[in-house]
């Protein structure tokens, strides 16, 4: 049986996780969800609420992937930026996606209340600028969102205010977004798991999907020991699509990112570093993202590895970034360091859609998955229950390009591009 990776999240669970059996034998259902992370659990919850018979298949255990080991930060908007959506697709489309992103953030609080999930949820996040030019961009963006969408939850922080809020001297200003926040992702994952079970979703773990057969009136999902015959399926695998051969894998790129977790900060440091318990994300291409845990440990991540190699180097780079932002924490012991895979799209907008009337999918959340995965599952479920929703159509209108280079060369190309971007961060610092 799979275990959770050795992370702070796994070590700080305040409960035992229920185990589910492998898929053995033959089953029939209305909807088969493939993937037991945020997206899959959300899809299963919402499909069951629609009165559908739902089964969920996870190749490891619930919450094993990015949903149980990410930074836990909650942000609205898409990674590409809603202003770019408006420039390329018009105001109506941008307004629609903006409203969806707002609903995504609100859905987290709704689910926490509905299922009584204890996941250390906190409100507020700071976008920190690593250069004066980036700070001006942030200010302009906050003014745009206020004027265009009447979003009034953003507060401009001066250089001094940003340094006081964060406890680091490297930033040139920032934006405090009171609509952002953070949570313990593994606790939240298991809370969604409980919610799905309460709604009679049948869950199977340690059941890797080996093949998907598409017939005229049904879909066959095959694992080594069993099969599910479903009217419709939702593919919610994100970075773990390999081998399903559905023709959508080339629209995303798996990326490895690492998080370090220190020992608990001394009380004096707690009064100086992130004293208001906000999470932070900065403007580097390989952005730094960090926050304090409920137990006042520093959780710091951000280094991205497109090559999926040199794991030890990525870990060292993550620790080096932590030391750069917070030199006063250099002497603290690192108790945990772990990595995982996220999936990005070329344009950094989630790829949510349907291959046909029976095969639905959502992936490529590009760093904004804590919020967007939940609403993606709701969009998929509502579309499967009746007909394609306007929300699903909004995402299908976004043009997603294949990553350049094909299977062999796309990884080396991205390694080169990311190295160039990091050089630009250095020169623009």
Q: Which residues contact 228 (CB under 8 A, 6 or more apart)?
A: 23, 26, 27, 28, 29, 32, 55, 57, 220, 221
To 10 degrees, what angle do helices 185-198 and 38-49 make? Answer: 30
| 194 and 234 assigned to the same domain | yes
Q: What is d(CA 319, CA 331) in angstroms, rounded to the nearest whole number? A: 12
The verdict on residue 260 lying in a domain is: yes
Same domain, 170 and 211: no
CATH number at residue 273: 3.30.9.10
Given the structure tokens 């906190």, which residue do they identify? 122
- Mean pLDDT for 263-273 is 95
User: Is residue 317 one of the residues assigned to a domain?
Assistant: yes
Higher pLDDT, 342 or 48: 48
d(C-alpha 43, C-alpha 195), whole Å: 12
259 with 219, same domain: the answer is no
58-81: average pLDDT: 95
Residues 209 and 298 in one domain: no
Q: Where are the beta strands (DSSP E) in 236-354?
A: 253-264, 279-282, 289-292, 297-305, 334-344, 351-354
The pLDDT, as a whole number, for residue 426 is: 40
Question: Could you count the other beta carbons within 10 Å of the beta carbon of residue 266?
Answer: 11
Q: What is the CATH number of the domain that holds 378?
A: 3.50.50.60
Kindly state whether residues 195 and 218 are assigned to the same domain: yes
pLDDT at residue number 418:
46
Nearest to 219 by CA among 409, 383, 29: 29
In the prediction, which pLDDT does 406 show? 53
Task: Please report the pLDDT score of residue 310 as a whole number.
Answer: 66
* Domain assignment of residue 110, yes or no: no
Q: Is the pLDDT of residue 427 over 50?
A: no
**Based on the domain organization, do 13 and 159 belong to the same domain?**
no
153: containing domain: 122-175+253-341+409-429
Per DSSP, 7 falls in state -
Judge if 209 and 335 occupy the same domain: no
Task: Please tell me the predicted confidence (pLDDT) of residue 2.
Answer: 58
- Is pLDDT above 50 for 409? no
- Give the Cα separation of 188 and 108 in Å (integer): 9
pLDDT tens-digit readout, 145-159: 999 999 999 999 999
- In this prediction, residue 307 carries a pLDDT of 53
Domain count along the chain? 2
Does 202 lie in the same domain as 130? no
Mean pLDDT of the chain: 91
- Asked if residue 112 is part of any domain, the answer here is no
Residues 202 and 156 in one domain: no
Give 284 or 279, the one with higher predicted confidence.
279
According to DSSP H, which parts of 116-221 are helical?
A: 132-149, 159-166, 185-198
pLDDT given for residue 361 in this prediction: 97
Whether 358 and 417 map to the same domain: the answer is no
Clarify whether residues 191 and 303 are in a common domain: no
Residue 1 has pLDDT above 80, yes or no: no
For residue 425, pLDDT over 50 is answered with no
55 lies in the same domain as 195: yes
SS3 (DSSP) at 233:
strand
> What distance in Å separates the CA atoms of residue 175 and residue 155, rounded to the nearest whole number?
6
CB 412 within 8 A of CB 308: no
Reply yes or no on whether the pLDDT at 311 is more than 80.
Answer: no
pLDDT for residue 89: 96
Residue 85: inside a domain: no
pLDDT digits (tens, 9 = 90+) for 75-130: 999 988 999 999 999 999 999 999 999 999 999 999 999 999 999 999 999 999 99
In a domain, 181, yes or no: no
Per residue in 186-216, pLDDT tens? 999 999 999 999 999 999 999 999 999 999 8
């Amino acid at each position: 049986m799979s275990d959770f990776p050795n992370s702070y999240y796994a070590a700080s669970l305040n409960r035992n996780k229920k185990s589910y059996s492998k898929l053995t034998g033959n089953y029939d259902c209305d909807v088969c969800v493939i993937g037991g992370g945020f997206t899959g659990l959300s899809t299963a919850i919402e499909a069951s609420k629609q009165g559908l018979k739902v089964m969920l298949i996870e190749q490891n255990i619930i919450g094993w992937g990015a949903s149980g080991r990410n930074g836990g930060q909650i942000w609205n908007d898409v990674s590409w930026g809603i202003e770019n959506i408006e420039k390329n697709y018009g105001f109506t489309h941008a307004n629609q996606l903006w409203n969806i992103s707002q609903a995504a953030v609100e859905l987290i609080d709704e689910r926490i209340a509905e299922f009584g999930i204890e996941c250390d949820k906190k409100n507020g996040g700071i976008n920190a600028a690593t250069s004066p030019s980036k700070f001006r961009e942030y200010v302009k963006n906050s003014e745009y969102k206020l004027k265009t969408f009447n979003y009034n939850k953003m507060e401009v922080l001066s250089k001094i205010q940003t340094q006081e809020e964060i406890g680091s001297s490297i930033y040139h200003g920032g934006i405090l977004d009171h609509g952002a926040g953070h949570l313990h992702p593994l606790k939240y994952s298991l809370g969604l798991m409980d919610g799905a079970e309460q709604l009679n979703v049948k869950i199977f773990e340690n059941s890797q999907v080996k093949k998907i057969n598409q017939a005229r009136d049904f879909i066959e999902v095959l694992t080594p020991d069993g099969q599910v015959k479903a009217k419709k399926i939702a593919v919610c695998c994100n970075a773990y699509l390999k081998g399903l051969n559905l023709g959508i894998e080339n629209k995303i790129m798996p990326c490895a990112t690492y998080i370090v977790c220190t020992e608990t900060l001394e009380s004096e440091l707690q009064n100086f570093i992130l004293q208001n318990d906000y999470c932070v994300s900065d403007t580097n291409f390989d952005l730094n993202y960090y926050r304090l845990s409920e137990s006042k440990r520093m959780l710091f991540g951000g280094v991205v590895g497109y090559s999926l190699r040199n794991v030890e180097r990525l870990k060292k780079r993550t620790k080096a970034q932590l030391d750069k932002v917070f030199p006063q924490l250099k002497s603290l012991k690192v108790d945990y360091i772990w990595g995982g895979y996220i999936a990005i799209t070329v344009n950094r907008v989630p790829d949510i859609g349907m291959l046909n009337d029976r095969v639905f999918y959502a992936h490529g959340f590009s760093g904004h998955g804590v919020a967007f995965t939940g609403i993606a599952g709701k969009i998929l479920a509502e579309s499967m229950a009746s007909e394609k929703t306007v929300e699903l159509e909004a995402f299908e209108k976004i043009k997603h390009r294949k990553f350049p280079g094909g299977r062999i060369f796309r990884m080396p190309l991205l390694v080169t591009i990311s190295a160039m971007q990091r050089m630009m961060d250095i020169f623009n610092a």
